[in-house]
Amino acid sequence: MTEVLTTERLTLRPWKVGDADETRVLFSLASNPHIGPRAGWPAHRSVEDSAAIIRGVLSTDETYAVVLSATGEPVGSIGLKPLSGIIAPSAEENRGALEIGYWIGEPYWGRGLVPEAARELMRYGFEDLGLEAIWGTHDVNNKQSSRVMDKLGLRIVRTRDHVYFPLIDEYHDEAIRRITRAQWEHER
């Protein structure tokens, strides 16, 4: 079950279908073509599309709306999900590990909100869920996501060339990163 987590400026809470049309916030952010394709998904086409994404994708356990505490406004999404065999090919690497993923609306870029949210989610993952490792991936050309993962201590383990992203029907080179519990504890 997804918890509610808080930081100095943010509340991480489960998504609600109402987030799709509550002043059209989710749609206005996720319809931006600079957001989804960087993360491997198409820009939302309508408020109804956003509501369907909330019901079918964002309503899974350990997936959170990133909400500004001061306004109650959702500004992005962050979550932990099971690894694919391609990210961590061995059973040993998969054991006790999840993958972190995130996005934030363009008006909120450069404010340190994603690292703030991710640090809390990593703390929750290691301390409360008992994870042994957290993995992350990003397009090698996505410098913003690369900087976030650097700040979080996720180190590049390997890269994969010409990875197919079916939701956007494109190929990208991908960096695969990881931080172990021991590394996280050492860096805190």
Tell me what the mean pLDDT of segment 72-86 comes to. Answer: 86
The whole-model pTM stands at 0.87
Residue type, position 160, single letter: R
Predicted confidence band at 21 (pLDDT cuts at 50, 70, 90)?
Answer: low
Residue 50 pLDDT greater than 50, yes or no: yes
Token pair, residue 179, equals: 């931080």
Which CATH code for domain 5-134? 3.40.630.30
Residue 62 pLDDT greater than 80, yes or no: yes
Separation in Å, CA 91 to CA 35, 88, 134, 156: 32, 8, 15, 19
Q: Considering only 10-19, 98-107, 126-135, which range has the smallest mean pLDDT?
A: 10-19
More confident residue, 113 or 188: 113
Tell me what the mean pLDDT of segment 23-33 comes to. Answer: 76
pLDDT of residue 20: 60
Predicted confidence band at 36 (pLDDT cuts at 50, 70, 90)?
Answer: confident
φ/ψ of residue 98, rounded to 5: -135, 165
pLDDT of residue 64: 94
pLDDT of residue 23: 43
Token pair, residue 86, equals: 């391609």
Whether the CB-CB separation of 179 and 153 falls below 8 Å is answered with yes
